[in-house]
Structure 1
Amino acid sequence: MAVDQEHFVHLARPLPPTSMGFAGSAPLTVNIQPQAVFSVIDHATRRDIRDTQSTRVIGALVGTRSEDGSEVEVRSTFAIPHTENEDQVEVDVEYQKNMLALTLKASPRETLLGWYTTSHELNSFSALIQNFFASPETGTFPHPAVHLTISTEPGAPIETKTYISAPVAVSPDRAAESCLFIEVPHKLLFTDAERAALGTASAAAANESRSAPVVSDIDSLAQALTTVSDLLDRVSGYVGEVLDEERDGNQALGQYLMNALSLAPKVSPAQIEADFNNHIQDVLMVSYLANTIRTQIDLAQRLATAPLVGSGGEKEGGDKGKDGEEGGGKQESRGAKGGKRGVRSGGGRSTGQRGEPREPRETGE
């Protein structure tokens, strides 16, 4: 897939969500998972710029879409090889089809959502690729294709923008090379575990060594309580300034705070402290029992798989051989004693050497 820059293409600037007759409501809401952003950044840092003049990379967005199509969630991405210069852009279409088929086999509930690039610039090449991902044969039709742009300049904050497109009135032979980009709202979604990982990564970015230790559960809990305390102080200060008429109040923010406070349980501070201490004791007891069970299992595995000591076996064999030799010697000595007894019984009062009986003496007349 290639296009020449010399062809005239009408490309409008990004418009706010109120444009195109949407009456103040966004036509689409985009939710982005952190792993998708990390995948795009990793693709940008590993790009090969030896054979191309392109300063950006592109790839496909894969995720889920709501039933009414008004909300999408970007869960994963995969890179697409392409070359780009001042005159044309080439994209490996076969590679994109094969990778999409493999991705959908691994995650049958997901679908193609659009594409991403590591530049906020919107040009004619962007319109060409956007129409390719929105086409009925190779794209997201009848749903709009999402275009995600991420800035990956070293040392600069990461900024993300999302767009959808609409066709414009041009000649039919140039319809594939033109579109109108419309910016839509988006937000990053992450769980508590991902929040902790992002906090650690942020702490490593602020450190000169680009490293940060992994804190324990107790330290993480202490940091979370400190953060909550700071947020409460900020909210309390804001409410106090509004009540003292030092600043103008915000009706939407006041409604949000009222809804949040209505969900909080009405208990005394002493009861909250007692419940918290009991919970901490339960957590410590479970941790102690888990460590004890882990130690017992490890010890049992070591005892079951420990090899027999070679020196001990040799010692046992040597003792057995020694016992056998002693037993044989005792039997021989017993036989010798038996021989003595036989000589004495056969020779009467003879006192000859052992095993050599002498002739009896002759008696006188």
Structure 2
Amino acid sequence: MLDSLLKKCKKNKEFDEYSNSSVIFTGNAKKPNLFKISSNELEEKSSVGLNCSADVGAPKGNIKIWKLAQNSNTPEIIYTSTDIHAENCTHSVSLSHMYTVVRGDNEAFFQCSSQNSLNNGVGPSLKSGRISVIYGPDEPSVLLNPHKSSFYVGEDLTLSCSADSYPPSNFKWTFQPTKHFHGINDLLCTNKPIGSKLMLQNIQLACSGEYTCTASNGLGRRFKNVRVRIDNPQTTTTGCAQCGHTETCQYKNGEVNCITNPWIPVAIISILISLIFGIVITVLMKQKIINEGKQSTNSSYLHIQLSPSRQSGTEDLAPRASTRESKDGFPPYEKITETQNEPEST
């Protein structure tokens, strides 16, 4: 690095003597006139070319290249120049640098600055656009919810798959049942995957087997296997005995639950309504029979009575209706007749 330029001044003295003198030039650093990167999209572990040119001034001028990560406010120096070319008493610097990117550099940008001893801190600079670092998926991770080694018939199970990649991966689920359930490997237990999740509801013994999650994004493909075992509940035989006649037996998470049958109350109410209706009909029919009997009895007591008409004040023998009941066992009409047949006393 040149700190000064040496100029020789020639003085013609009386005795033809010469003397040397030194002149130091200073100048402020200027904003870089060129800064470019070879590519804005790079695969992981590939190299990007950084080219920068600037008039760094004097004294002690240089160029620095910085990197600013996506989620950081603090620039990181990745290169400082040492090759300086002096032109017209100023220092002009040009450099090329190769930088190897990693996945953490995704969405980062670079910066080229020009500075010398006259600057305080970072000098004038130019920034690049953000870069994209693309990479294939890592080995997927599969999580089971609930997290346990075995499950019972009737439980719900969710399998979640994830894999770090850029761009994001697409996920595919496949299923290989255990030996005695071969032939249903394309059904995935009749459940359709939603993105990276596979939700299994009311799982059965046929859902036992190996589930495979495959992640791919065009740059690579990785997969992960996980085995799921389904067992019958241990309380299958004795558990249902505790349920009453109005309850149904259900298995959930390996436990027996007695749940009231919703149709039992409906049936009971229907039976009660039928009984009440039958009682009302019976009472009405009995009342009707009683009323008809009373009407028949009243009509049997209607008789016609006859008595002679006399001026002496004797009983009128003209016919008349009587509803009086007989006290001596004869109907009223017959009693009147017998009285009329008796001989008159002299």
Query: TM-score when scaled to structure 2?
Result: 0.31
Find the structure with the greater CA-based Rg: 2
As a proportion of its length, which structure holds more strand? 2
Higher relative contact order (CA 8 A, sep 6+): 1
As a proportion of its length, which structure holds more helix? 1
Query: TM-score when scaled to structure 1?
Result: 0.30
